[in-house]
């Protein structure tokens, strides 16, 4: 398989070499966590002298003997070399029973620089504080961005690349397959056998069909406002009874596994979160095509999903803005930065353009306001609002 260096993630790890934290790479299945750890190992070998790398990959059978925390701890201790810089790299650490004990022990000794990857459902960001008594540094990985997609395929025409990316998505493992059906078969298999299986194992889901129905519903309604009650009602109407509590739990499990991301609504004028309805975005839009098919694609909703994940990838906190009876797709925050964003497909129609631009015009503060759409033109302005082609924005 062709490999490209995912420089943003690699640099994030390089920047924390030597810090006392346990560095943990998390993210959805098949997003490239193992390859990132391999790339980091090569960086250490090529750029740091006097090192000892203890690399354990639980995906390979030779480490089956280390699947108890005592054995893992003893193995790492035996491999320690005094007066060297000792790096510990562990892939799929959750496959060792009681792994957190071994990691806490070696971390407490302050003689190892520790880096691990883990299955999304077994090494959740919400669990890190309770799993590890020491500090942790979290690196969250996403599937390929559009920019990485272009780099992988060496596209010269950005429009051709974007049209392909919209259909094929960012799961790098799917790029090995020649035709779209084979790609979707692979993507569906990743979702069913890895993501959902992990959830079923961790949370001991009894009614797997109900989990599938809820997952399909969220996929079918990406970028739509919805509520726990509406989701439970919609699924119950299909002769599958589900309570609000179960619906809420299942959604939480899917979000914990990085399959979906919940975005809350926020009253811009009243400066408070609104609890009645939220939006859910799929970590990679190709999962929807692979599971539900490609008939009647709502490109505006798909583009909104792509922009949401890209904003997360770029380190923004996002919420859905509400201003009186108007909705702003995203209010994106990062430190002192704030951006108001509307996302659309075709805004060449005057009525559609007004619908997208009017909510932004009603916001009276001086923070940047942009519309991201499929314009196929260079960026231009309308009354201080930037109009940016989505392919150009993603490639920026």
Q: Render 282-306 in DSSP notation, one character per residue.
A: ESSTHHHHHHH-STT--HHHHHHHH
Q: Among 94, 116, 141, identify where a domain stops.
A: 141
Domain with 221, as residue range(s), is 146-395
Residue 125 pLDDT: 58
Q: What is the structure's pLDDT at 268?
A: 86
Kindly write down the DSSP assignment for every residue of 19-39, as one continuous string: -SSEEEEEESTTSSHHHHHHH
Residues lower than pLDDT 70 in the chain: 1, 120-127, 129, 134, 239
In this predicted structure, what is the pLDDT of residue 361? 96
Residue 41: the pLDDT is: 98
- 90 and 150 belong to one structural domain: no
Q: What is the pLDDT of residue 324?
A: 85
Same domain assignment for residues 174 and 133: no
DSSP secondary structure, 80-119, as one string: --TTSEEEEEEESGGGSBTHHHHHHHHHHTT--EEEEE--
Residue 252 lies in a domain: yes
Same domain as 79, residue 159: no
Task: Say how far residue 1 (Cα) sits from the centre of its chain.
Answer: 22
- In this structure, is the dihedral angle defined by the CA atoms of residues 321, 325, 326 and 327, taken in order, positive or negative? positive
Q: What is the pTM of this model?
A: 0.93
DSSP assigned state of 144: P
Count of domains for the chain: 2
Residue 30 and residue 55 share a domain = yes
Q: What is the pLDDT of residue 239?
A: 65
- Residue 290 exposure: Cα atoms within 13 Å on the Cβ side: 24
Report the CATH number at residue 84: 3.40.50.300
Instruction: Give the pLDDT confidence of 17-46 residue by residue, as tens digits.
Output: 999 999 999 999 889 999 999 999 999 999
Where among 90, 110, 141 does a domain terminate?
A: 141
Of the CA atoms within 13 Å of residue 100, those in its CB half-sphere come to: 13
Q: Give the per-residue pLDDT at 122.
A: 63
pLDDT tens-place string over residues 266-301: 888 878 888 779 999 999 999 999 999 998 899 999
* Residue 1 within any structural domain of the chain: no
Q: Shortest CA distance to 342 belongs to which of 382, 377, 314, 315?
A: 382
Do 230 and 298 belong together in one domain?
Answer: yes
b/e map 209-237, b = 16+ CB within 10 Å: ebbebbbebbbebbbeebebebbbebbee
Domain edge (last residue) among 92, 115, 141: 141
Q: How far apart are CA 182 and CA 204, in angstroms?
A: 31
Same domain, 135 and 150: no
Which pLDDT score is estimated for 194?
Answer: 81
Looking at the structure, tell me whether residues 270 and 363 fall in a common domain.
yes
pLDDT digits (tens, 9 = 90+) for 233-253: 888 877 678 899 999 999 999
Are 103 and 208 members of one domain?
no
pLDDT of residue 159: 97
Q: What is the structure's pLDDT at 1? A: 62
Residues 59 and 178 in one domain: no
């Amino acid at each position: 398989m062709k490999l490209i260096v995912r420089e943003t993630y690699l640099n994030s790890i390089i920047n924390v070499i030597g810090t006392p934290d346990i560095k943990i790479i998390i993210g959805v299945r098949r997003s490239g966590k193992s390859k990132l750890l391999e790339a980091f190992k090569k960086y250490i070998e090529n750029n740091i002298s006097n090192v000892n790398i203890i690399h354990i990959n639980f995906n390979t059978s030779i480490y089956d003997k280390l699947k108890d925390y005592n054995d893992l701890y003893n193995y790492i201790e035996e491999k320690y070399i005094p007066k060297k810089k000792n790096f510990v790299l562990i892939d799929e650490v959750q496959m060792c029973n009681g792994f957190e004990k071994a990691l806490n022990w070696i971390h407490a000794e302050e003689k190892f620089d520790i880096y691990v990857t883990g299955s999304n459902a077994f090494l959740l960001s919400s669990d890190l504080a309770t799993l590890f008594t020491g500090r942790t540094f979290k690196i969250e990985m996403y599937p390929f961005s559009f920019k990485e997609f272009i780099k992988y395929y060496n596209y010269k025409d950005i429009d051709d690349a974007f049209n392909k990316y919209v259909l094929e998505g960012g799961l790098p493992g799917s790029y090995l397959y020649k035709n779209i059906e084979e790609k979707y078969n692979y993507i569906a298999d990743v979702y069913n056998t890895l993501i959902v299986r992990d959830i079923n194992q961790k949370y001991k889901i009894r009614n797997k069909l109900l989990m599938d129905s809820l997952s399909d519903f969220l996929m079918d309604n990406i970028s739509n406002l919805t509520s726990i009650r509406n989701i439970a009602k919609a699924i119950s109407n299909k002769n599958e009874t589900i309570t609000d509590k179960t619906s809420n739990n299942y959604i939480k499990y899917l979000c914990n596994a990085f399959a979906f991301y919940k975005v809350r609504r926020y009253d811009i004028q009243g400066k408070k979160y609104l609890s009645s309805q939220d939006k859910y975005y799929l970590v990679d839009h190709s999962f929807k095509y692979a599971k539900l098919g490609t008939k009647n694609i709502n490109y505006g909703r798909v583009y909104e999903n792509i922009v949401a994940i890209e904003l997360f990838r770029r380190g923004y906190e996002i919420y859905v803005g509400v201003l009186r009876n108007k909705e702003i797709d995203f209010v994106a925050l990062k430190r002192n930065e704030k951006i108001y964003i509307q996302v659309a497909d075709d805004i060449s129609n005057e009525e559609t353009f007004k619908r997208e631009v009017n909510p932004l015009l009603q916001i009276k503060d001086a923070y940047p306001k942009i519309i991201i759409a499929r314009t196929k033109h260079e960026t231009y302005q309308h009354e201080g609002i930037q109009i940016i082609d989505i392919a150009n924005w993603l490639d920026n």
